[in-house]
């Protein structure tokens, strides 16, 4: 099986690099300065114990990667890029390749399945950082992360079992799970803090505001009848990963949303994280003011290319109060 890693940033670079290091056939799809760095110098994968240079093929598009039946395409771009990426993939591969969504959020799988791809969901727990073209820091070893996988919307099959086995050979903990979306919905709750992490800093996850975002998410799940792995299950599973350490002297600095602001990409995935809770709230009559404000704040910071940590927790709390008082216009005004 060839693995085409579509989106070779922190998560994609870590998965692709470790699979290649374990002897699997890997092609990375990247773009921009990262693509050029991969073409000229290859991938540098820095772990707490090693500075690796795995041999991988590199492409700038699905057309250049030339997917064939039997290949597995691992989507590892942010959710805001999924629809366009699937369109490019379908144009050159039809629905003849399997697609695994190694992404935050719970909507990517629906996008892939809508186009007829055999779709797999992956719950990704990888502490990785990508801020420099050509370089990915992976902050856990010897067990580099947890990558459980299953068919979408449910069940397992031989392909999921093989993928899990290949990932285990590549220093990840992985199992085929017939209820994988339970874990992705649990991960989504944790990801509701990504906007806070990006706007204020990692310490904001200990705030009452993050607790309120979680409570809104749980209330929406209950109203929608969505099952999800409970916190004790999640903690037990995460214990399988090695503790975080600095990699090449670089500590793990922030969430994927933090890294989007740090790289000044101009976009952020908040619409598929906090926005998913807002959508569920709209559908099921649950108020979600905190998640709506976090969604707006994250998008505004990305558009304005503000540095991570530019806001105070107090400023965001004030936006929430304005929103709850019906001051939506006020909540739209910048506080950065």
- Quick: pLDDT tens for 236-292: 999 999 999 999 999 998 999 999 999 999 999 999 999 999 999 999 999 999 999
Do the Cβ atoms of 144 and 172 come closer than 8 Å? yes
Q: Which residues contact 225 (CB under 8 A, 6 or more apart)?
A: none
At 247, phi and psi to the nearest 5? -120, 115
Instruction: Give the H or E element holding residue 241.
Output: none
Alpha carbon of residue 80 to chain centroid: 11
Average pLDDT over residues 149-155: 98
pLDDT of 93 over the 60 cut: yes
Give the predicted TM-score (pTM) of the model.
0.94
Q: How far apart are CA 246 and CA 138, in angstroms?
A: 9
135-138, strands of its sheet edge to edge: 51-52, 44-46, 135-138, 128-132
| CA-wise closest residue to 14 among 120, 145, 105, 133 | 145
pLDDT given at position 330: 42
pLDDT given at position 253: 87
pLDDT of 332 over the 50 cut: no
Q: How confident is the model at residue 327 (pLDDT cuts 50, 70, 90)?
A: low
Average pLDDT over residues 12-38: 98
pLDDT of 335 over the 90 cut: no
pLDDT of 333 over the 80 cut: no
What percentage of the chain carries pLDDT values higher than 90?
95
Place of tokens 């002297």: 249
| CA-wise closest residue to 157 among 177, 139, 182 | 177
Q: How confident is the model at residue 334 (pLDDT cuts 50, 70, 90)?
A: very low
Average pLDDT over residues 16-30: 98
Give the CA diameter of the chain.
58
Radius of gyration of the chain (CA): 19
Do the Cβ atoms of 8 and 34 come closer than 8 Å? yes
pLDDT given at position 138: 98
Q: Report the range of poorest mean pLDDT among 24-33, 143-152, 327-336.
A: 327-336
pLDDT given at position 213: 98
- Average pLDDT value for the chain: 95
pLDDT of 164 over the 90 cut: yes
Average pLDDT over residues 296-317: 97
Strand, coil or helix: what is 123?
A: strand
pLDDT tens digit sequence for 181-193: 999 999 999 999 9
């Amino acid at each position: 099986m060839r693995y085409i890693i579509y989106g070779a940033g922190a998560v994609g670079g870590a998965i692709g690099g470790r699979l290649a290091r374990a002897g699997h056939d890997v092609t990375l799809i990247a773009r921009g300065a990262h693509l050029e760095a991969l073409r000229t110098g290859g991938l540098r994968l820095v772990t707490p114990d090693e500075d690796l240079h795995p041999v991988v093929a590199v492409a700038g598009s699905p057309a250049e990667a030339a997917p064939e039946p039997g290949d597995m395409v691992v989507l590892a771009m942010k959710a805001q890029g999924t629809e366009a990426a699937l369109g490019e993939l379908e144009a050159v591969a039809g629905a003849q390749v399997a697609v695994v969504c190694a992404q935050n959020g719970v909507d990517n799988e629906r996008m892939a399945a809508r186009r007829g791809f055999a779709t797999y969901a992956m719950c990704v727990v990888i502490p990785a950082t990508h801020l420099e073209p050509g370089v990915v820091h992976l902050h856990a070893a010897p067990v580099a992360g947890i990558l459980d996988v299953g068919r979408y919307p449910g069940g397992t099959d031989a392909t999921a079992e093989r993928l899990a086995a290949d990932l285990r050979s590549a220093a990840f903990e992985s199992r085929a799970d017939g209820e994988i979306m339970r874990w992705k919905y649990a991960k989504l709750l944790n990801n509701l803090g990504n906007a806070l992490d990006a706007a204020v800093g990692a310490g904001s996850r200990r705030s009452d505001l993050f607790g309120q975002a979680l409570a809104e998410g749980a209330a929406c799940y209950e109203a929608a009848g969505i099952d999800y792995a409970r916190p004790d299950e999640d903690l037990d599973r995460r214990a399988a990963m090695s503790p975080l350490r600095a990699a090449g002297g670089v500590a793990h600095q922030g969430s994927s949303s933090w890294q989007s602001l740090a790289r000044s990409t101009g976009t952020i995935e908040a619409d598929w994280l906090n926005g998913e809770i807002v959508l569920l709230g709209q559908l099921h009559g649950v108020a979600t003011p905190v998640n709506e404000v976090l969604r707006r704040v994250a998008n505004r910071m990305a558009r304005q290319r503000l540095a991570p940590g530019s806001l105070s927790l107090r400023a965001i709390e004030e936006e929430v109060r304005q929103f709850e008082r019906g001051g939506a216009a006020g909540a739209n005004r910048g506080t950065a």
